[in-house]
Amino acid sequence: FRSMFKQYHHFLAFQYAVDEINKNPDLLPNTTLGYQLLNNFHLETLAVESSLIWLSGRGPIIPNYSCDKQSNSVAVIGGMSATLSMAMATILKLYKVPQISYGSFDLLLNDKVQYPYVYQMGKEQSALHLAFIQLMLHFDWTWIGLLLSDNLRGERFFQDLKEEMVRNNLCVTFKERVPQNFRDREDFDLFSRIISSSSNVIFIYGDADSLHELPTVFITFKPYGKLFITESSWDFFIDSNSEVFPIFHGTILFSYTKMEIPGFTDFVRSLNTSVDPKDIFRKSFWESAFHCRLSKKSDIEIFYPLCLKDLSIKDLPSMDNGMALMEPIPNVYNAVYLVAHALHQMLHSEVKEASDFARNLDLPWKLHHILKSINSVNNAINESHEDGAQSDAEIYDILNYKSFPDQIETLVKVGEVYPLAQRFTIKEEDIDWPEYFDQTPTSRCNLKCGPGFQKTALESQPNCCYACTPCPEGTISNQTDAEQCLQCSEDQYPNMERDHCLPRTRMFLAYEEPLGMTLACIAICFSLLTVLVLGVFLKHRDTPIVKANNRSLSYTLLVSLSLCFLCSLLFIGHPTTATCLLRQTTFAVVFTVAVSSILAKTITVVLAFRATKPGSRLHRWLGSTASYSLIVTCTLIQMCLCGIWLGTSPPFLEMDIHSEPGSIIIQCNEGSLLTFYCVLGYMALLALASFTVAFLARNLPDTFNEAKFLTFSMLVFCSVWISFLPSYQSSKGKAIVALEAFAILTSSAGILTCIFAPKCYVILLRSDRNTLEILKRKGAS
């Protein structure tokens, strides 16, 4: 019934076009179109036989002889499939009879050498593969199977599709050619491979003849877990029983956006038992569709009841569904108009040469040059229907096939696609997926790589199959299926999952943090304390204890110590280019002054003791000139070293993004480490010399001797800086800065305490001991 239902729609479109033309006074005036209907039952042998019957007329089939006294037939409209058209063409082309094929466009029929008199009404689906690609990209189906008809049409489609799939990184799981007839076990093994494939989406492409056995085979090999995508030329629900319907429920179809025939739908819906009861085709269809008899003398089985008078064709549940899918219906309508326009032009062009209409109709081959000049169905249609113009661009409707119990079927339009314009719209909420899918199906070789991973190609595998590897350290991927991981910008760093970048924290020893605030407070307090000690010494500069310890060198030492405490502040706060240049050089020069002052004091003590011996010539070295000359010389040497350092490879500001993840360490790079260690080494040499001289002079009489205090101060100084060097090498970031500032403060505090604390104690708390007599008495003892 379903096949008959479809064919009857074709006949109704044919009949409707003929009636419409006969009523049109501007097209074929004073001429009535008629037709002869022959059924080939989709068999090639019958198609050839029908062609011979049409050529021979009534009576026996005799080639090259017509039993009709006068033939009024000039063209054949037929051949829903390419095989039927080719079968008819073998006979019709011998007589140059125009054949209008209204089925899907076929490349073989387009061969004008072999089929010069065949005209195809179906549109060439040159962009169908692009429509399918857009559907795949929308649903992210990268792993699909292909079932193609085993002919030139299927191979041509595959070549176009394959090229576009490679361009879009899509892969074919399998490609199988479907034979027209399944005869042996090997053909059925094909379906075993299909069912066992890892692809959930299968695209089926071919004509009705090539794929007509597929629905029957799928009854045996039920493709559970598979979604079919096809196009409207494969009528999988025709001539099949109800067992097939659940298999194809949810199938997606691409259908050419067909031209609406004006008034045709209303014409079909208006058909009922009272309209033209003499129409034998309508009578047969009606009785088969409604299982009833139009008259008591009907040939249909006697136990069927008489048909109700108010029955209408619109009461058939499949009517709307069939109309939606039947792309050939407009082609049939257009074919009739194409022939009518060709006849119309031929009659007008030969009106002077022909005396009557029949004379012209004896020559159907005369239509060919007119049919070729028309060349476009739309031109013929638009001449009669001004509002029937359509876009030349390919447009496909996306249909969703839904089947329900009691053989109820429907096709729902869920979207449309303009392949050449790359426009795609779809309503996913209107789609019914196959019953084994709870949600939108997925079809991939493997799961997607999530954020934090990147795709890694697998050897001897298609590009759709890949492994997911974590991003290397320091990189991230913030999308699925990332081709490669990305490097974070310098002011950012990857999080633990490596799926996005976090802003780095800028690190430096700030005044606001506890450590920086503590060091700054200590530096200021000790600097003020040093100034206070200097004030005490200035106030008591004429006391014996101040005079006995070379007060001018004590003043110099106290000033330099005060500056040493303050230069540690250059290591705290946000580093700048200026502080990077000043911090080490200032510290080196000021500390050199302090250490050389201690060296001068130590040498002065030793020389003072040696000068007391009779006949000694050391008196001339006891003056302040010699001491300050020593200090200036040592300081100039250090300044030269610093100058060389700044002139060759000076310190500079840098952003360290590698030492600590998540942080940007703003620090000063010392530039040339060699010159940096030379500066430190020179201070260490002066300190070692001071310590050595003081240590050798530690047993001198106490009256003139502060060598013990100088020894302890240099011991503290050397201990601090010897501990500092290995710690400096193993630390990084702001810990280095804090460590160096701490070393400066500790060594400076050690000198201040060891040298000046005992003196301040005597000056401030034991002034009774700060007399010349006591000092002389201690010196004599």
Give the torsion through C-alpha atoms of 250, 251, 252, 258, to 10 deg: -110
Burial class (CB in 10 A: 0-12, 13-18, 19+), 281: middle
Q: pLDDT for 145-167, tens place per residue? A: 999 988 888 888 999 999 999 99
Instruction: Note whether 146 and 70 are same-domain residues.
Output: no
Instruction: Note whether 141 and 216 are same-domain residues.
Output: yes
Q: What whole-number distance in Å separates Cα of residue 468 and Cα of residue 479?
A: 13
Number of domains in the chain: 4
Beta bridge partners of 172: 144
Q: How many CB atoms lie within 10 A of CB 603?
A: 20
Instruction: Note whether 72 and 213 are same-domain residues.
Output: no
Strand-strand pairing, 76-77 and 486-487: unpaired
The residue behind tokens 């002034």 is: 767
Q: What is the pLDDT of residue 1?
A: 44
What's the farthest any 2 CA atoms get from each other in the chain?
169
Instruction: Note whether 60 and 208 are same-domain residues.
Output: no
Q: What is the pLDDT of residue 779?
A: 47
Instruction: Note whether 152 and 237 are same-domain residues.
Output: yes
By the 8 A CB rule, do 168 and 137 touch? Answer: yes
The residue behind tokens 């604390």 is: 757
By the 8 A CB rule, do 3 and 241 touch? Answer: no
By the 8 A CB rule, do 76 and 36 touch? Answer: no
Instruction: Note whether 579 and 704 are same-domain residues.
Output: yes
**How many alpha carbons fall within 13 Å on the CB side of residue 380?**
27
Nearest one of 130, 742, 98 to 371, comparing CA atoms: 98
Domain CATH code at residue 337 = 3.40.50.2300
**441 within a domain of the structure (yes/no):** no
Strand-strand pairing, 423-426 and 201-205: unpaired
Instruction: Note whether 611 and 744 are same-domain residues.
Output: yes
Helix (H, G, I), strand (E, B), or coil: what is residue 228? Answer: strand
Helices (H) and strands (E) in the chain, counts: 24, 20
Strand-strand pairing, 501-503 and 492-494: antiparallel
Low-confidence ranges of the chain (pLDDT < 70): 1-6, 58-59, 68-71, 183-187, 237-246, 258, 273-278, 280, 296-303, 310, 315-327, 350-363, 374-393, 406-408, 606, 608-624, 697-707, 770-781
Q: What is the pLDDT of residue 171?
A: 93
Which residue type does 78 have? G
The residue behind tokens 């079909």 is: 268
Q: What is the pLDDT of residue 381?
A: 45
**How many alpha carbons fall within 13 Å on the CB side of residue 2?**
18
Instruction: Note whether 223 and 338 are same-domain residues.
Output: no
Q: What is the pLDDT of residue 378?
A: 42
The answer for residues whose C-beta is within 8 angstroms of residue 436's C-beta and 6 or more apart is 224, 225
The answer for residues whose C-beta is within 8 angstroms of residue 472's C-beta and 6 or more apart is 485
Q: In what order do the strands lie in the sheet with 118-120?
A: 76-77, 99-101, 118-120
**With a threshold of 0.85, does the pTM exceed it?**
no
Nearest one of 310, 772, 395 to 548, comparing CA atoms: 772
**337 within a domain of the structure (yes/no):** yes
Domain CATH code at residue 626 = 1.20.1070.10
Q: What is the pLDDT of residue 213?
A: 77
Which residue type does 7 have? Q
Q: What is the pLDDT of residue 389?
A: 38
Q: Which domain holds residue 475?
A: 453-503
Q: What is the pLDDT of residue 240?
A: 45
Task: Kindly write down the DSSP assignment for every residue of 419-445, as one continuous string.
Answer: TTTTEEEE-GGG----TT-SSS----S
Instruction: Note whether 683 and 555 are same-domain residues.
Output: yes
Q: What whole-number distance in Å separates Cα of residue 346 and Cα of residue 350?
A: 6
Instruction: Note whether 49 and 164 are same-domain residues.
Output: no
**290 within a domain of the structure (yes/no):** no
Beta bridge partners of 293: 306
Instruction: Note whether 138 and 77 are same-domain residues.
Output: no
Instruction: Note whether 483 and 424 are same-domain residues.
Output: no
